[in-house]
Amino acid sequence: MSIYVLRIGHRPFRDKRITTHVALSARALGASGILIDQKDELLEAGIVKIVKEFGGDFTIKSGVSPDHVMRGFNGTIVHLTMYGIPLQDQIEEIRNASTKEDILVVVGSQKVPFKIYEKSSYNISVTNQPHSEVSALALFLDRLLQGGELNTHMTGHRNVEPMKLGKQVTTVPAREECQKLLKDLGADEKLLRHSTSVESLAVAIGSRIQGANLAVISAGALLHDIGKTRTQGIDHAVVGAEILRNRRISKAVVNVVERHIGAGIPLEDAEKLGLPKKSYIPESIDEKIVAHADNLMLADRRIPLKTTIEHYHRKNLPEAAERIEKLHRELSVLCGMDIDELQTS
């Protein structure tokens, strides 16, 4: 199911702030995109900038015909209006419909043409008292998704980190920023070439897997061995993660760096190796992609899985070899092809 919002009655010179809030609420609370009846390029640019900065795949398009959108929409149309049937009386029926088809939520302003009521599958009121269309949309989406939207985590260039007290914003550094950071910390040409090669393969893998975050993958791949500017030991991943934390790099990138060795290091093995007591097994798809791209790179040269597995067996690490084989199979299935056959640009 995808949820789209249709904003009607927008007046570019009077409603920019309220329509912006409608769009931001839609994005934050689970919608895939918003359509706006009046053309407003400044509003579009503002929302596009937010998506670029804070992440997600939310789309915006202004200057659409509400009649055309509603006529061509193949799904359930819900019009939010103070004159409709109470939300609590029909939300379960709407939710059941949403398991089979997309939903278009129509949010109007002061005067809504009667044809909007006629063309809607449901006319729903979030109380029958005057209040904001922003709050109506927010409450409707929360009831529809039963709070599940609050667990959605979007990673963009800037990320607000949860804190009990204070404020902290972390970043996913761009490619140029990653390379500058490596050089500033004294990375040699060998490390720079290796990191660039791992990034190239990781991005190629990520480009074929739905849900992979290419910005996180790129930054994580480029910075995965940043700890080697301080140590050449097995602890370089832990050291690298701490370097990035101190620079307020996004937790998503920090986790890629901390969990990139092999196909991860289990808690019991971490203790034996003298690492801080926790599991270093990659969890997110981005973490898995970078870890395996590193597995298939010897310096800046691509190697097949077979060579990597043989290397781990020579080091008498059969369990690690088995984890790497399993990770290779998992990512190959998601890619739709054997990663050994995947070409990079």
Residue pLDDT, tens place only, 64-80: 999 999 999 999 999 99
Residues 18 and 91 in one domain: yes
Is residue 216 in some structural domain?
yes
The full DSSP string for 141-203 is HHHHHTTGGGG-----SEEEPP-SSS--EEE---HHHHHHHHHHTT--HHHHHHHHHHHHHHH
pLDDT value of position 4: 97
Is residue 156 in some structural domain?
no
Residues 313 and 246 in one domain: yes
Helix (H, G, I), strand (E, B), or coil: what is residue 206? helix
The CATH number of the domain holding residue 39 is: 3.40.1280.10
Cβ(331)–Cβ(243) below 8 Å:
no
Residues 252 and 326 in one domain: yes
Per-block average pLDDT, block size 10, for the chain (345 residues)?
94 90 96 96 96 92 96 95 94 90 91 91 93 95 93 84 87 95 96 97 96 94 97 96 96 96 93 93 97 96 96 94 97 96 88
Among 100, 119, 151, residue at a domain's last position: 151
Residues 74 and 193 in one domain: no
Q: Which range marks the domain in which residue 223 is found?
A: 171-341
Residues 103 and 134 in one domain: yes
Residues 40 and 11 in one domain: yes
User: pTM score, two decimals?
Assistant: 0.77
pLDDT value of position 51: 94
Residues 128 and 179 in one domain: no
Residues 147 and 179 in one domain: no
Is residue 159 in some structural domain?
no
pLDDT value of position 154: 83
Residues 183 and 273 in one domain: yes
Residues 277 and 199 in one domain: yes
Is residue 49 in some structural domain?
yes
Cα separation, 32 vs 238, in Å, equals 36
Residues 124 and 194 in one domain: no
The CATH number of the domain holding residue 322 is: 1.10.3210
pLDDT value of position 24: 97
Report the percent of the chain where pLDDT is more than 70: 100
- Look over the chain and give the mean of its residue pLDDT values, rounded to a whole number: 94
Strand extents, DSSP E, the chain = 3-7, 33-36, 59-62, 75-86, 102-107, 122-125, 158-160, 169-171, 297-298, 301-302
Is residue 133 in some structural domain?
yes
Instruction: Show Cβ contacts of residue 187 under 8 Å, excluding neighbours closer than 6 positions.
Output: 195, 226, 228, 229
Among 117, 151, 185, residue at a domain's last position: 151
Residues 263 and 222 in one domain: yes
Among 121, 151, 181, residue at a domain's last position: 151
Is residue 241 in some structural domain?
yes
Is residue 166 in some structural domain?
no
In this structure, the dihedral spanned by the alpha carbons of residues 218, 216, 289 and 245, taken in order and rounded to 10 degrees, is 100
Number of domains the chain is built from: 2
